[in-house]
Structure 1
Amino acid sequence: MIFSMTGYAARTRDIECGSLHLELKSVNSRYLDFQFRICEELRVAEPALRELISARLSRGKIECRLNFIPAATKAVPQALSGELLARLADFDAQVRAALPHAAPLSVGEVLRWPGMFGDDSLDVEALVPEALALLRAALDDFTASREREGAKLADVIRERVARIREHVRLVTPLIPAAQAAFQDKLRQRLLDALGSVDDERVRQELVLFAARIDVDEELARLTTHLDEVERVLKAGGATGKRLDFLMQELNREANTLGSKSVLSAVSQTAMDLKLLIEQMREQIQNLE
C-alpha cells in the first residue's frame, strides 16, 4: 500500500464523566513532526500519544488535538462542604484584617470554589486509557484516509510513467537516421574546412563526435529508472524518499538527452520528459 502524508480523522468517545474529542490531521514533511494541542487535564498523556502515533506513521507533520468536555452539572447541587466553607470564611477574615479595603468573597465565587460541593476532582488516571483507545480508533480512520489519497497519487504517477515510455518509444526509431544525416553534413564541413587533411583525421573527428551525441545509454537508463519507479510503487510502504531520488535520476537523463540532441524531435521529447518528471515529483512530495 502507498500512503499519502495528507490525512484527516476525528473521533469522539463518551465516558461517564464527560466526553473526549480527538482530531488528527497531517501535511507533508521530510520527517515525522508532531504538534499537540491537548487540554490541561490530559497533558500527562502526551508521551503515550506520541508513542502510539510513531508506531503507525513514519513521515508527515502531524497535528493532534485532544479535548475533554466534562459532563453537565446536575440540576440539584450537592450539599456545601462545611469544612471548606469555614476555611474560606477564616481566610477571608484574615485577608480583610490585613487589607481593610479588600472586597469580600462573593456568593458566586464561593459556589465556584473547587471542592465546594464535595470531591469534584477529575480522575486523570482513568481518562488516559480512554484517550489512548480513542487515538487507536482515530488512527485506523486516519491511516485509511492516507491510504486512499496515496492510491490516487500512485495512479497519477503510473500514468505519467506510461506517457514517458510512449515519448521514448516514438522518438527512439528517429535517432539513428538523424545522427547519420548530421554526421554526413559534419563530414562534408570538415572536408571543406580542412582541405588537404587526410580522410583518417576526418574519420577520427566523426568518431569522437558520434560518441558525444550517442543517447543510447540515456534512453536505456530512462527505461531502467521507470521500471524501478513501477517496482517501488508495487512494493508499497514508505516510498517517498526512494521515489524522490529516482525523480532526480530521471531528470538527469532527460537533461543529458536534451544536451546531446541533434534532432528537434529529441529536444522536444527531452522538454516533455522534464515536464512529466516534475509533475511526478510534485505528487511524490506528498507520499510517506
Structure 2
Amino acid sequence: MICSMTGYAVKTRDLERGTLQLELKSVNSRYLDFHFRVAEDLRAMEMPLRELLAKRLNRGKVECRLNFNATAARGEQLQINVDLLDALSALGAQVRSRLPDAAPLSVNEALRWPGMFGEQGVDFAALGPVVLALANEVLDEFTASRGREGAKLAQTIVDRVGAMRRIVSDVAPRIPEAQALFTEKLRQRLLEALGNASDDRILQEVAVFATRIDVAEELSRLTTHLDEVERVLKAGGACGKRLDFLMQELNREANTLASKSAITEVSQAAMELKLLIEQMREQIQNLE
C-alpha cells in the first residue's frame, strides 16, 4: 500500500476512573519526526508509543497526543487534592506579587493540573497495556486514512504519466519529417550564404546540425523513466524518495529536449512535459 504522509485518527477509551484519549496526526517531512504531547501522569508511555509508531511508519512529522480525563467512579464523587490546590494558590499569589500583570490560573487549568485528583487512586502504571491497545486501534485507523489518501495521490500520478506518454507518442512520429524540412531549409540558406562552397561542405555542416537537434535518445529515456515510475507505483510501499529521484531524471530529459529543440513541435512538447512533471512532483512530496 502506498501511503500519504498526511493522516489523522483519534479514539477514546472509557475506564472506571476516567477517559483515555489518543490522537494521531501527521504532515509532510523528509524524515520520520515525532512530537509527543502526553499527560504528565502517563509520561512513562512515551517511549513504548514511540517504538510502536516507528514500527508502522516510515516518514512524516507525526504528532501524538495522549490525555487522561479523570471522572468519578460509579456512586463516587471526585475529590480534589486540596493540599495541591492550596499550594497552587499560594504560588500564584507569590508570582503576582512580583508580576502584577500575570494572569491567574483558570478553573479549567487548575482542574487539569497533574495530581489534582490524585486521591482518587488511579493506578497510571497499570494503564500501560490499555494505552498500547488503544494506540494499536488508533494506528490502524491512522494508517488506513494515510492509505486512502496515498491511493488517490498514486492515481493522480498515473494519470499524469499517461498524459506524458500521449505527448511523446504524438510528437515522436512527426519529428523526423519536421527535422528533415528544417535541415533542408538550413541547407538552402547555407548555399545562399556560402555561394561557391562545395556541396560536401554544406552537407557536412547540415549533418552535424541534424545530429545536435536529434531528440530520439531523450524521448527513449523519457519512456524508460515513465516505465520505472509505473513499476514503483505498482510495487507500493514507502516509495516517495524513489519517485522524487525519478522526477529529477524526467525533468533532466525534458530540459535537454527543450535545449535541443529546433522545431516548434518539440518545444511545445517539452513545455507540456515539464508542466506535468512539476504537477507529479507536488503530489509525490506528500507520499511516504
**TM-score normalised per structure 1:** 0.83
Deviation string 1:92-142 (CA, Å, 9 cap, x unpaired) is xxxxxxxxxxxxxxxxxxxx9x99x99534312111221111111100000
- Contact kept? 2:6, 2:146, Cα under 8 Å: yes
- Contact kept? 1:178, 1:262, Cα under 8 Å: no
- Contact kept? 2:5, 2:28, Cα under 8 Å: yes
1:76-91 aligned at under 5 Å gives the runs none
Q: For residues 77 and 184 of structure 1, do their structure 2 counterparts lie closer, same or farther at Cα, with a shift above 3 Å needed?
A: closer
Residue of structure 1 in register with 2:251 after alignment: 251
Task: Report SS of the residue matched to 1:128.
Answer: helix
Q: For residues 177 and 22 of structure 1, do their structure 2 counterparts lie closer, same or farther at Cα, with a shift above 3 Å needed?
A: same
Deviation string 1:212-242 (CA, Å, 9 cap, x unpaired) is 1000001001100100000000000001000
Find the aligned partners of 2:144 and 2:26 in 1 and give their Cα distance.
Answer: 13
User: Is 1:169 matched with 2:169?
Assistant: yes
Find the aligned partners of 2:118 and 2:145 in 1 and give their Cα distance.
Answer: 45
Residue of structure 2 in register with 1:5 after alignment: 5
Find the aligned partners of 1:211 and 1:273 in 2 and give their Cα distance.
Answer: 22
User: Is 1:227 matched with 2:220?
Assistant: no
Structure 1, unaligned runs of 5 or more: 80-84, 89-111
Find the aligned partners of 2:18 and 2:159 in 1 and give their Cα distance.
Answer: 50
1:32-47 aligned at under 5 Å gives the runs 32-47=32-47
1:76-155 aligned at under 5 Å gives the runs 120-155=120-155
Instruction: Measure how far apart 1:258 and its partner are.
Output: 1.5
- Contact kept? 2:244, 2:285, Cα under 8 Å: yes
Task: Report SS of the residue matched to 1:61.
Answer: strand
Q: For residues 285 and 118 of structure 1, do their structure 2 counterparts lie closer, same or farther at Cα, with a shift above 3 Å needed?
A: closer
Find the aligned partners of 1:261 and 1:163 in 2 and give their Cα distance.
Answer: 20
Instruction: Measure how far apart 1:74 and its partner are.
Output: 6.6
The aligned amino acid for 2:247 is M
Instruction: Measure how far apart 1:189 and its partner are.
Output: 1.6
Aligned residues: 258
Instruction: Measure how far apart 1:76 and its partner are.
Output: 5.9
Find the aligned partners of 1:118 and 1:201 in 2 and give their Cα distance.
Answer: 97
The aligned amino acid for 1:30 is R
Task: Report SS of the residue matched to 2:9.
Answer: strand
Instruction: Measure how far apart 1:69 and its partner are.
Output: 1.0
- Contact kept? 2:6, 2:25, Cα under 8 Å: yes
Residue of structure 1 in register with 2:96 after alignment: none
The aligned amino acid for 1:154 is A
Find the aligned partners of 1:203 and 1:76 in 2 and give their Cα distance.
Answer: 101
Find the aligned partners of 1:77 and 1:131 in 2 and give their Cα distance.
Answer: 25
Tell me the C-alpha RMSD between the 2 structures: 2.6
- Contact kept? 1:78, 1:118, Cα under 8 Å: no
Instruction: Measure how far apart 1:200 and its partner are.
Output: 2.2
Residue of structure 2 in register with 1:55 after alignment: 55
Q: For residues 196 and 278 of structure 1, do their structure 2 counterparts lie closer, same or farther at Cα, with a shift above 3 Å needed?
A: same
The aligned amino acid for 1:215 is V
Find the aligned partners of 2:71 and 2:167 in 1 and give their Cα distance.
Answer: 64
Deviation string 1:255-279 (CA, Å, 9 cap, x unpaired) is 1111212221221111111111111
Residue of structure 1 in register with 2:265 after alignment: 265
Instruction: Measure how far apart 1:191 and its partner are.
Output: 2.0
Q: For residues 182 and 61 of structure 1, do their structure 2 counterparts lie closer, same or farther at Cα, with a shift above 3 Å needed?
A: same
- Contact kept? 2:20, 2:68, Cα under 8 Å: yes
Find the aligned partners of 1:277 and 1:78 in 2 and give their Cα distance.
Answer: 61
Find the aligned partners of 2:147 and 2:222 in 1 and give their Cα distance.
Answer: 28
Instruction: Measure how far apart 1:43 and its partner are.
Output: 1.0
Instruction: Measure how far apart 1:193 and its partner are.
Output: 2.0
Task: Report SS of the residue matched to 2:24.
Answer: strand
The aligned amino acid for 1:268 is Q
Find the aligned partners of 2:119 and 2:253 in 1 and give their Cα distance.
Answer: 72
- Contact kept? 1:5, 1:286, Cα under 8 Å: yes
Q: For residues 77 and 46 of structure 1, do their structure 2 counterparts lie closer, same or farther at Cα, with a shift above 3 Å needed?
A: closer
